Amino acid sequence: MAKKSPTALGDIDLELLKIAPDDKVSRKLLMLIEGTFGIGVKQSIEKYEYTEQRYYQLLKAFQTEGSDALVDKKRGPKNNHKRDDKTVQQIIRYRFLDPDLSAAVITQKLNQSGISISQRSVERTIQEFGLQKKTLPVKPQQGS
């Protein structure tokens, strides 16, 4: 009788798939398959270095959403909740009315008018719309 690989699933040897170590989606799917049908949850989470809690989170997500649930998603806010269209328009307006206004001054004006925004958000908006002040390159003096 042939010796079965510890990662064998029925007659399928999962090691033959040669999944890359950085292929997170495939590794998560293999962990779920092996945990459910193969070597068991405990051995599967040890092999793929996940916690039991994370295993069950992934299993539940996979059962409801399919393989899309195994893709790592970007964390954090999904939109600019501070920089809505009205706020962006105001920043651009202030910049066009007086191109010499700094981001700090624009931030102060917006805050005084009841729009709560950080200086960094104003700077990002100015940069995204290409409204930075243009500076001419300084040529080095020759022959001194």
Report yes or no on 42 lying in a domain.
yes
Residue 40 maps to a domain: yes
Q: Are residue 55 and residue 104 in the same domain, yes or no?
A: no
Q: What are the pLDDT digits (tens) for 98-133?
A: 988 999 999 999 999 999 999 999 999 999 888 887
Are 54 and 99 members of one domain?
no
What total of structural domains would you count in the chain? 2
Sole residue written with tokens 């931030």: 107
**Do 56 and 19 belong together in one domain?**
yes
The pTM of this model reads: 0.44
Q: The domain containing residue 106 runs over which residues?
A: 85-128
C-alpha distances in Å from residue 74, one per residue of 22, 24, 54: 17, 14, 17
d(CA 33, CA 9): 9
Is the pLDDT score of 96 beyond 80? yes
Tell me: do 65 and 89 sit in the same domain. no
* Domain-embedded: residue 32: yes
**Contact in structure between 55 and 44 (CB atoms under 8 Å):** yes
Same domain, yes or no: 44 and 90: no
Tell whether 19 and 63 lie within a shared domain. Answer: yes
Whole-number average pLDDT of the chain: 79
Q: Is residue 76 part of a domain?
A: no
Which pLDDT tens digit goes with each residue over 26-61?
778 877 878 777 788 888 777 878 888 888 888 888
